[in-house]
């Protein structure tokens, strides 16, 4: 599975990109037919501390899964988005198996 990480209006450091790629690649443990993934990192312009947004799109055969989370850090947002995608993958596997 290939993972594309895009940071919108800022440059993400290599440590953050490596962290995101490792988290997203762990989704292969739950479903090995993931084609590719795209991660978009954005900084919201609101005044609160929770202004980091991580959006993850997974391409599966015949379907796309998407999760968007907003937190204080990109790492936390990525963790929550990956967990949401893991739950979506389990539901998808249940539907495909039937």
pLDDT per residue as tens digits for the range 38-95: 999 999 887 778 899 999 999 999 899 999 999 999 999 999 999 999 999 999 988 8
pLDDT per residue as tens digits for the range 44-57: 887 778 899 999 99
How far apart, in whole angstroms, are the C-alpha atoms of residue 85 and residue 29?
A: 12
- The domain of 21 spans 2-97
Count CA atoms closer than 13 A to 54's CA, side-chain side: 29
Q: For residue 80, what are the contacts with CB-CB under 8 A and spacing of at least 6?
A: 54, 67, 69, 71
CATH number, domain of 64, equals 3.30.160.100
DSSP 45-62: -SSSS--EEEEEEEEETT
Residue 97 has pLDDT above 80, yes or no: no
Q: Provide the number of structural domains found in the chain.
A: 1
pTM of the predicted structure, to 2 decimals: 0.92
Residue 13 has pLDDT above 80, yes or no: yes
Q: What is the pLDDT of residue 98?
A: 61
């Amino acid at each position: 599975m290939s993972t594309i990480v895009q940071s919108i209006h800022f440059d993400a450091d290599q440590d953050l990109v490596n962290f995101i790629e490792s988290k997203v690649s762990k989704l292969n443990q739950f479903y090995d037919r993931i084609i590719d993934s795209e991660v978009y990192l954005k900084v919201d312009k609101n005044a609160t501390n929770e202004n980091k947004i991580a959006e993850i799109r997974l391409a599966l055969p015949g379907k796309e899964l998407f999760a968007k989370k907003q937190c204080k850090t990109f790492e936390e947002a990525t963790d929550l988005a990956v967990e949401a995608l893991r739950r979506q993958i389990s539901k998808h596997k249940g539907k495909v198996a039937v």
